[in-house]
Structure 1
Amino acid sequence: MINFHSYEFSILRYVHDTLTGEFVNVGVVIYCEKEKWISAQCRNTYARVSAVFPNLNSSHFRKMMKFLQGEFCKANNTLNTELQFSEVNSLQTLLHKVLPKDDSSLQWSPISAGLSINLESELSILFDRYVSHYDAKVARDRRTEQDIWKDFKKTLEAFNLAEDFEPKRISVKDDEIEFQHSWKNGIWHCIEPISFDLSDSDYFKDKAHRWLGQLSSIQDSTDEFKVYLLVSPPSEPELQPAFNKALSILKKIPVQSEIYLEHDAYILAEEIQKKMEIHINSFH
């Protein structure tokens, strides 16, 4: 039986101008109350931030990132012993102990939650998704979720379907997922691009387990929904075995779901068109 850990997380934002509200994600903090464990990962470079905000005080920025990383390390070391943490039962409390809520340039995003079998790996995955995803790529480009959707949108345009999608948040009492590309005909149909064009086979199972955990967490939602996973395989042939194992994990998702490899995107578009036509014809 898979042992999932429930956790909370928040994204650290650098708000360059509090009047305009423009920001760049610069860190992630993850907290598991049951394990009495908290950890953070902050940027150790500033190139991405200074590219967006050229007049960034890079020296001060680096010092703040290093300071916050250290503070959360201290918090984790004392979480089980210090009296000040004895009554902590939420990430929100811990965040404001380290960085109080004010109008400074560093702000916390709203708290989100999830499930994972490996909290350390989850922190890295969250950092990659929310913070370093838009960093300048080195070596060769790898396909991202944005790349998958951009190409699939072109396929949808051929079916005159590209404008028929909207964001949909599927939620339960203690968790939620917002799907960016959804439509409703009786139930919600949610398309989620997932890229496995990764460089390290160790990340394949982590990413698959993450989606298994997230979708398992919302399976009791009052919204009836089905998920279509549009999956991009790895470029390197030697990573195919790891990818096959990841697909096997995704097939264990306990909600209505279908998995399409990216080269079958046309088939998925046809399926969507058929479902939409059936829904439209039911009203005539």
Structure 2
Amino acid sequence: MKGHSYSYVVLQYRHDVWIGEAMNVGVLLCCPGERFLKLKCRRGRGRIAQAYPGIDAAALTGTIRALEHRFGRIEAGWDMLSSVAKAGDIARGVLRADASSLQWAMDGGGIASSAAETMDMLYDRFVGLYDDEAPRDARTDEQVFDTVKVKLEAAQLYKRFERHVVRSEFGDVPFDHAFKNGVWHCVQGVSFDSANHERMLEKAQKLAGKMHSIASFRGSMRPYFVTGKPQRSDLLPQYGKMQALLRSSPLDPLVVDEHDSSIVVDHIAAVAH
């Protein structure tokens, strides 16, 4: 097999260093032939938070980000490294073995046709193997939107809806369900029926980011977000926070739970006549 030699080392988190129990949280891969040096990690939520409820997730996340940044700087200055550099040697030069909660273990290596693909494979093997088996929302955004669509159809309003794409200097933001009467009224379902806190946050941040990218369209459009709550009761507090995050985004979006979607219909009806 053609390719380049690589080496890796696993980053482990030890909640109580005296017990010695460890959880794999990341993989550092070094491939001199591709000038590749990357640390891929999970954050201080998800499985770690479930296993150790008392964990300081913010502190762990900050430490991991600092490590990722450090290895990124080392990769950027690759000429300073040896052509036979090993992941374990580099890793322990940055984070030395001591009594801290983060430690390196299980050095290994091989031949890779693609360092990036090998990184993903090693991460899945050593870190993501027992993650929740639900990478997608249990319900889609469209399934959540259906709760308001039925009411719009009953009010003889949905037949006036169409697809609208907001084009800005930062990119296009499509809305599949939009109605124009002076301004564009864009209704979108947002499913938060997710596997964990982190996925919910990523989704809300991504949507809020889109609102920031089209903030200059204030006055010419109004977004409406109909949100679907998670089935897991322990995720409901996070759900409320994600609704608040969306409400704080530009363009003054109206954010309601799917069970209150009649509020959106009433707003649309008020401007439709």
Name the TM-score, length of structure 1 as normaliser: 0.47
Larger radius of gyration: 2
